[in-house]
Structure 1
Amino acid sequence: MSSADGAEIDATKNLTDAAYYRIREMILDGSLAVGTSVSVVALAGEFGMSRSPVRSAIERLLSERLLSRTASGAGVAAPDRLDLLDALAVRAPLEGLAARLAAPHIEERALEDLEAIHARFDHAMRQEDQATARRADLEFHQYIQNLSGNECLVDTLERVQTQVVLAAYSTAWTSSKRPAVLEHARILDALREQDGDAAQAAAERHLHNLTNRVLDEWKRLETRGHGNRGTNR
């Protein structure tokens, strides 16, 4: 393969990655809502790139189940309640492991970054700004997993976390998430002390508590007669 061919492959990969992360962000921040159709032509025009990298990005998102195939092509997936519970069950021990691996070698700069993310999450929750809270919540967890230094763990957790966020959009996102702010603070405290055992326990407890809050929210909605009857499989 010539150097020119190699450069062309690298350029295509970079464009595909750019399209992938942009579409993924649009899904996770709600710009592309659950059930919305995704058009290669429209996105390519919006991004100012050819259709090929956008098409490759969409195939990647289909494989990660953030998109699903439809009669017209592809659309933003609508995971059901069991999808969310499955993802949460897998995420808890993985989040714990990430926190445990990150704790012993965390540096002051990383702690400052995490504290800033946590402050944004806290502020968004106080303002009931759910979009910002979701982004800060995901950023907090992803920052910790990246500090773990384990690429396999990072890759696996990224997929599981996005499934949780997407499923929460289509099932339940309780506005009463103040406990999550305190739970993030406990994880931060353990990381600050470089205590791997405490960080792991705090991260796992946070995810178990999140699962319980989601279940409680579903019960509350069903009691009020607004349960999503179409989500059981």
Structure 2
Amino acid sequence: MSQAKANKDAYTLILEAIDGGLYRPGDRLVESELAERFGVSRTPIREALQRLETQSLLARDGRSLIVASLDHNQMAELYAVRTELEGLAARLAARHATEEEVQVLRDMVEEDEVLIKDPTALARANRRFHKMIHLASHNRFLVQQLDLVHRSMALMATTSLAAEGRGEVAMSEHAAIVEAIARRDEDAAYMALKDHISVAFVTRLKLDANQRLD
């Protein structure tokens, strides 16, 4: 087991595996296989699975535990909450972000441009960008709630950034969000991020509709 894994508990290891797409919605999680994969004993694995089930990230399929999936209504509910919380984070970032944090956000926008053709890498960069805005809000309670929301986002089978042309548009939206934060324009930052999430939701609904047809 690597030192990085040794420093993480079973819950974090499984959560990161789901978030990274190693386990997808509908995949069965077997205690013994997880213990072997992560080099962790079965007791902490069992406790982690119970915790993830309590958080509705895992679901029962007979006697087995599988990675949960979101139906249409659950997805709509999740996006409704995410839109408001992300907008609030941008508003507070416009109020509280340090000049260094603003510079980091600008650097992220510039660096992520090269990832537009790689949806998987862009999705990781997108999570990093949003997390930076959360932290720049300087509100620990908001950050905690957004962490919970983003965990549930991992239950969606595909990233909206996989849609044709979405990467370019998303990067343009990111730039607009950062510039509003840099101007300390709280209302503009709030609306820019809310609009960004709304467009992502529309894109995801279209992807989901196409997948149901397939």
TM over 0.5: yes
Separation of aligned partners in 2, 1:53 and 1:83 = 29
Moved over 6 A (4+): none
Separation of aligned partners in 2, 1:71 and 1:171 = 31
Which of 143, 146, 149 pairs up with 1:157? 146
8 A contact 1:95–1:157 mirrored in 2: yes
Secondary structure, in 3 states, of the residue corresponding to 2:165?
coil
**Please, which runs of 5 or more residues in structure 1 have no aligned partner?**
1-14, 222-226
Secondary structure, in 3 states, of the residue corresponding to 1:167?
coil
What is the root-mean-square deviation in Å for CA atoms of aligned residues?
Answer: 2.8
User: Residue 49 and residue 212 in structure 1: after superposition, are their counterparts in 2 closer, same or farther (change >3 A)?
Assistant: closer
8 A contact 2:177–2:192 mirrored in 1: yes
Identical pairs, percent: 32
Give, in angstroms, the shift of residue 140 of structure 1.
1.3
Give, in angstroms, the shift of residue 56 of structure 1.
2.2
Counterpart mapping for 1:1-233 below 5 A = 18-125=9-116, 127=117, 129-169=118-158, 173-177=162-166, 178-218=168-208, 221=210, 227-228=211-212
8 A contact 2:160–2:200 mirrored in 1: no
8 A contact 1:16–1:56 mirrored in 2: no
Separation of aligned partners in 2, 1:43 and 1:88 = 31
Separation of aligned partners in 1, 2:48 and 2:111 = 30
Give, in angstroms, the shift of residue 53 of structure 1.
2.1
Separation of aligned partners in 2, 1:199 and 1:156 = 19
Separation of aligned partners in 1, 2:22 and 2:56 = 17
**Please, which runs of 5 or more residues in structure 2 have no aligned partner?**
1-5
Q: Count residues with an aligned counterpart.
A: 209
8 A contact 2:31–2:42 mirrored in 1: yes
TM-score w.r.t. structure 2 length?
0.83
Secondary structure, in 3 states, of the residue corresponding to 2:59?
strand
Separation of aligned partners in 1, 2:128 and 2:81 = 19
Separation of aligned partners in 2, 1:123 and 1:215 = 26
